[in-house]
């Protein structure tokens, strides 16, 4: 079957890989939609591991239900792409994101477990979730990134009336902004280096205002706007400039949640956190409950994740889509891949 695999720095190839074997334990799924994620972009930019088939945000139909007696052929499903051990103390407490094995065999993020940029995938049966009929395949493929934003906002613990800045208006930033409003934030701003994305954050209704992170007066403007700083800053980029800006515009005693992932060490002025007694928290992935909550919020129409989807492309257009998403000038937020397109 066809797959899209990393070939080198910023380079993909479409290549044949073996179909997943049925082992009556794991669930085999025919992929219907798969999202391109900002984390996948880090691997593509880095050029490796060569041969990696990415894609950890997906919707599909069950081909073989494995050991899941509650599933049948044809059921529409998604799955948590992570690989927690299931028996350590973190797993038993419902925090798989702390498990040391969570990323070892992650779907689409490890060579041993190809992701959904192909036609069929095999995933751990305990990670599979059936989805209701009233959410589309496109929405289902948005569950994973939506859950990332929900987890970050749960960690922030926003109170009604708080002021929140989201640094970075990619999909993770925008869903975080959306949930910050739902939690009762009275003012949500987004800072962006990409003007098109900044404007879009406001147009889509998730931010009250956006600020151009390239302008020198943005930091003083943000501080003046909030009378001394934001209650919470959700950092969704991971680079040094972005993390430093987050530490600068949060109020004394405020909280910065770091969601952006850096592939190397990042230089930041830690003195800002010391002198103003900031709380700095990391946020990684989600719990199973948060994943299920996102499915539920979509099914009950309390959130609309479809508004973040800009395009649906075939395998041939994946390379170009990555180029669009990294151009810094395109307003596309989320591009989905359809293996049948």
Residues in touch with ligand NAD (CB under 6 A): 37-39, 41-42, 148, 167-173, 191-194, 197, 213, 236-239, 241-242, 245, 259-261, 283-285, 328
Provide the minimum distance between the beta carbon of 101 and ligand NAD in the complex, in angstroms, as a whole number: 16
Nearer to ligand NAD, 62 or 172 (CB): 172
Q: Does 261 bind Zn ion (CB under 5 A)?
A: no
Cα–Cα distance measured from residue 149 to residue 294, given in angstroms and rounded to the nearest whole number: 10
Looking at residue 216, the DSSP 8-state letter turns out to be T
By a kind-dependent CB cut-off of 5 to 8 A, residue 203 interacts, out of Zn ion, ligand NAD, none, with none
By a kind-dependent CB cut-off of 5 to 8 A, residue 250 interacts, out of ligand NAD, Zn ion, none, with none
At 301, is the secondary structure helix, strand, or coil? Answer: coil
Q: Are 159 and 186 in contact (CB under 8 A)?
A: no
Q: Are 269 and 199 in contact (CB under 8 A)?
A: no
Provide the minimum distance between the beta carbon of 160 and Zn ion in the complex, in angstroms, as a whole number: 30
By a kind-dependent CB cut-off of 5 to 8 A, residue 84 interacts, out of ligand NAD, Zn ion, none, with Zn ion
Nearer to ligand NAD, 308 or 315 (CB): 308
Provide the minimum distance between the beta carbon of 87 and Zn ion in the complex, in angstroms, as a whole number: 6
Structure tokens at 88: 């350590």
Q: Determine the length of the chain.
A: 341
Provide the minimum distance between the beta carbon of 64 and Zn ion in the complex, in angstroms, as a whole number: 25
Alpha helix stretches (DSSP H) within the chain: 38-46, 89-92, 137-140, 143-156, 171-182, 195-203, 218-225, 240-249, 271-275, 288-299, 318-325
Q: Does 99 bind Zn ion (CB under 5 A)?
A: yes
By a kind-dependent CB cut-off of 5 to 8 A, residue 88 interacts, out of Zn ion, ligand NAD, none, with Zn ion
Site residues (CB under 5 A) for Zn ion, limited to 24-43: 37, 39
Q: Does 118 bind Zn ion (CB under 5 A)?
A: no
Provide the minimum distance between the beta carbon of 169 and ligand NAD in the complex, in angstroms, as a whole number: 5
In order of 3, 53, 127, 220, 323, the CA distances from 318 in angstroms are: 11, 12, 26, 40, 9
Beta bridge partner(s), residue 210: 190
Cα–Cα distance measured from residue 197 to residue 200, given in angstroms and rounded to the nearest whole number: 5
By a kind-dependent CB cut-off of 5 to 8 A, residue 91 interacts, out of ligand NAD, Zn ion, none, with Zn ion
């Amino acid at each position: 079957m066809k797959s899209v695999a990393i070939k080198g720095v910023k380079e993909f190839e479409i290549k044949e890989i073996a179909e997943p074997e049925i082992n009556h334990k794991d669930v085999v799924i025919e992929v219907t939609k798969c999202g391109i994620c900002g984390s996948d972009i880090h691997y593509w930019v880095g050029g490796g591991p060569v041969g990696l088939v990415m894609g950890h945000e997906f919707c599909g139909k069950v081909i073989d239900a494995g050991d899941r007696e509650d599933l049948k052929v044809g059921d529409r499903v998604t799955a948590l792409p992570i690989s927690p051990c299931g028996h350590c103390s973190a797993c038993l407490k419902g925090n798989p994101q702390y498990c040391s094995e969570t990323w070892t065999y992650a779907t689409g993020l490890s060579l041993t477990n190809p992701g959904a940029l192909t036609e069929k995938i095999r995933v751990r049966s305990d990670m599979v979730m059936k989805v209701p009929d009233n959410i589309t395949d496109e929405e289902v493929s948005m569950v994973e990134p939506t859950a990332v934003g929900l987890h970050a906002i749960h960690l922030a613990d926003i109170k009604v009336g708080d002021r929140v800045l989201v640094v970075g208006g990619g999909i993770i930033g925008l869903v975080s902004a959306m949930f910050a409003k739902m939690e009762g934030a009275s003012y949500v701003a987004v800072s962006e280096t990409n003007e098109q994305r900044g404007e879009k954050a406001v147009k889509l209704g998730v931010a009250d205002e956006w600020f151009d992170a390239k302008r020198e007066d943005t930091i003083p403007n943000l501080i003046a706007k909030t009378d001394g700083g934001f209650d919470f800053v959700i950092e969704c980029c991971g680079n040094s400039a972005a993390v430093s800006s987050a530490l600068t515009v949060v109020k004394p005693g405020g909280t910065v949640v770091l969601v952006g992932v850096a592939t190397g060490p990042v230089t930041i002025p830690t003195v800002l956190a010391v002198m103003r007694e900031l709380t700095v928290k990391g946020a990684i992935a989600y719990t199973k409950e948060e994943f299920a909550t996102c499915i539920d919020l979509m099914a009950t129409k309390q959130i609309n994740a479809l508004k973040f989807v800009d395009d649906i492309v075939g395998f041939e257009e994946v390379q170009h889509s990555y180029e669009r998403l990294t151009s810094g000038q395109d307003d596309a937020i989320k591009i989905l891949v359809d293996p049948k397109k």
